[in-house]
Amino acid sequence: MHKSVLAIIALALIGLTHAQVEFSGDCPCDVTVQSNFNVSAYLGVWYEYAKYPVYFEADGKCVKAEYTLKDNGEVGVVNSMINVTDNELTDIVGYAVEVENAKLKVTFPVTPAFNATTNYWVLSTDYVNYSVVYSCQTAGGSSHYTIVWILTREQSPSEEFITKAKDVLTQNGVSLSELVVTDQSNCKVAADNCS
């Protein structure tokens, strides 16, 4: 992997703990997560339909996540995207641990001395079509940073499932106005010129 790509990934991971959407006050305490969350049913590939803007995805499209069950019980995480400036695939590998029902901690080892960790709460999922994920981190003082993702199993999901996902956010008092739809078109990576 190129050093510049590693530098971008390192910056991205630092950004995991500081999203770009800041709100006043503390993180809400009344956010409801999926009841009886089933980690095994959640595994597999999820495509990012929409999210709150985050700078570590500023030049990204075709964003997806793949979750696998590791031998030690952790969930393996591979997040990938295509950088639109050079049409190259970038990815980051980490792991997640469920700390409470539907509340996971995701960790990405950036360097041997530094791990970026953030929360990953599954507010709602039907496991086969959509998932709504929420993360909130206290910013210090009297504000907090929030990241929201709507994930789907298909790159071009049915509007029915997007409506369900947005309804979950609305029911939890999470704003829809910051959501940005992710470009999932033309997801072919540039061919390697080295043969």
C-alpha span between 117 and 119 (Å, rounded): 7
Under-50 pLDDT residues of the chain: 1-19, 195
Q: What pLDDT is attached to residue 10?
A: 43
Residue whose entry in the numeric block shows the structure tokens 């695939």: 89
Helices assigned H by DSSP within the chain: 3-16, 39-42, 159-171
**In the CATH scheme, what is the code of domain 3-181?**
2.40.128.20
Q: What pLDDT is attached to residue 33?
A: 98
Which of these, 169, 150, 153, 148, lies nearest to 42 by C-alpha position?
A: 153
Look at the chain and count its residues.
195
Which of these, 112, 37, 106, lies nearest to 78 by C-alpha position?
A: 106
H/E run at residue 189: none
Q: What pLDDT is attached to residue 11?
A: 42
Q: Is the dihedral of CA 23, 182, 67, 114 positive or negative?
A: negative
Instruction: Return the number of other C-beta atoms located less than 10 Å from residue 178's C-beta.
Output: 17
0.75 cut: is pTM over it?
yes
Q: What pLDDT is attached to residue 151?
A: 98
Structure tokens at 58: 């500023």
Domain map of the chain by residue range?
A: 3-181
* Amino acid identity at 84: V
Residue whose entry in the numeric block shows the structure tokens 């959501």: 179
Q: What pLDDT is attached to residue 129?
A: 98
Phi first, then psi: give them for residue 12, nearest 5 degrees. Answer: -60, -45
Q: What pLDDT is attached to residue 195?
A: 46
